[in-house]
Structure 1
Amino acid sequence: MTNSVNRRTQASQKRQRLTAAAARVLHEQGVERTTLADIARAADVPVGNVYYYFKTKDELVQAALAEHTARLDELTGRLERLADPRDRLKALVEAWVGQRDVAARHGCPTGTLAAELDKRADGTLDAEAGAVLRRLLDWAAGQFRELGLPGPEDLALTLVSGYQGMSLMANALRDPDVMAREGARLLRWLDSLGAQGAPVAGSSRRSS
């Protein structure tokens, strides 16, 4: 019985290593350039074992998207410990900026994957990538809603679009400082939002 439990535990750990490796390698290299052997090597798993857990690259892409969802849920779960929704949103922006070096090299993990999958001729998996971004939008909208701001979905779209834009520009220019500057602008924008969703009195035009 003990041996059976140990085997199941080892199999679960190996699958998790492969999933985490898939999320990282696909982000760094893109779907088309990545092979199963690349992911096996990154996970320190024999390439033949990969097929036991994932029959195709698409299954690994799905696993990577699930990993991104899990990481998002972990992050938002931590942010929920903050009492003030505005503080949660600001902490989210700070978390994005904290990943500026990675973004400058490879872009947003989910955004770049969604863009690449959208260009595939078979049209598969792009909706699943979009669902991860939708999850982030829904969470952000919930925070704006809790603040009592009108148009919470629109505000969430502005926030997440700001993140996608600064990730794209940081990557295109290979300049992590883009994330720092634009992150600071998003923080000022969040501070500027009053109870009616408009900039609070005295806030600068640039902050709105």
Structure 2
Amino acid sequence: MTNSVNRRARASQKRQRLTAAAARVLHVQGVERTTLADIAREADVPVGNVYYYFKTKDELVQAALSEHRAHLDELTGRLERLADPRDRLKGLIEAWIDRRDIAARHGCPTGTLAVELDKRAEGTLDAEAGAVIRRLLDWAAQQFRELGLPDPDDLALTLVSTYQGMSLLANALRDPDVMTREGTRLLRWLDSLPAGA
């Protein structure tokens, strides 16, 4: 019994290592340039083992999207501990600024993946990437709603589209300062919004 429990635990850990590695490698190299061997190497797992857990590259892309969703949920979960929704939104922006070097090298993990997947002729993975971004939009809209501000969905769209734009420009220009400057502007914008009802 103990041996089978240990085997299941090791298998679960190996799958998680592959999932995390897929998220990292796909962000850095993109879908088309990434091989299963690249992901196996990053996860420190024999390449043959990858096929045991993931039959296709698309399954690994789905796993990477799940990893991005989990990171978003973990971040927003931490931010939910803050009493003030404005502070939660500021915490989100500060997290983006903290990742400025990564954004300058590779862009937004989910945004760049969504754009690349949209260019493929087959599959629904682009919609799955869009669902992760939708999750962020919905969370941000809820914060604006709690602040009692009008048009919370539009405010969320402004916030997230600004993030996507600053990530894209930081990456295109290889300039992490774009994230800092635009992030600071977003923080000022949040402070300028009136307190709601």
TM-score range, shorter chain: over 0.9
Counterpart CA distance in 2 for 1:123 and 1:69 is 19
Aligned to 2:62: 62
Gaps of 5+ in 1: 198-208
Could you report, residue by residue, the CA deviation over 1:103-149 in whole angstroms, capped at 9, with x for unpaired residues? 00000000000000000011431000000000000000000000000
1:40 is aligned to 2:16: no
Q: What is the alpha-carbon root mean square deviation over aligned residues? A: 0.9
Aligned to 2:81: 81
Could you report, residue by residue, the CA deviation over 1:35-78 in whole angstroms, capped at 9, with x for unpaired residues? 00000000000000000000000000000000000000000000
Counterpart CA distance in 1 for 2:39 and 2:160 is 29
Counterpart CA distance in 2 for 1:171 and 1:70 is 23
Q: Which amino acid aligns with 1:116?
A: E
Aligned to 1:103: 103
Aligned to 1:14: 14
Aligned to 2:168: 168
Q: Which amino acid aligns with 2:138?
A: D
Task: Check conservation: 2:14, 2:45, Cα contact below 8 A.
Answer: yes
Moved more, 116-125 or 34-43: 116-125
Aligned to 1:188: 188
Counterpart CA distance in 1 for 2:124 and 2:93 is 30
Q: Which amino acid aligns with 1:177?
A: D
Counterpart CA distance in 1 for 2:124 and 2:46 is 28
Q: Which amino acid aligns with 1:19?
A: T
TM-score by length of structure 1 reads 0.93
Cα displacement (A) at 1:155: 0.1
Counterpart CA distance in 1 for 2:72 and 2:164 is 15
SS at match of 2:88: helix
Cα displacement (A) at 1:176: 0.2
- % identical equivalent positions: 87
Q: Which amino acid aligns with 1:57?
A: K
SS at match of 2:62: helix
Task: Check conservation: 2:22, 2:61, Cα contact below 8 A.
Answer: yes
Q: How many residues align?
A: 197
1:129 is aligned to 2:123: no
Aligned to 1:2: 2
Q: Which runs of 4+ in 1 moved over 3 A?
A: none
Q: Which amino acid aligns with 2:69?
A: T
Counterpart CA distance in 1 for 2:128 and 2:92 is 22
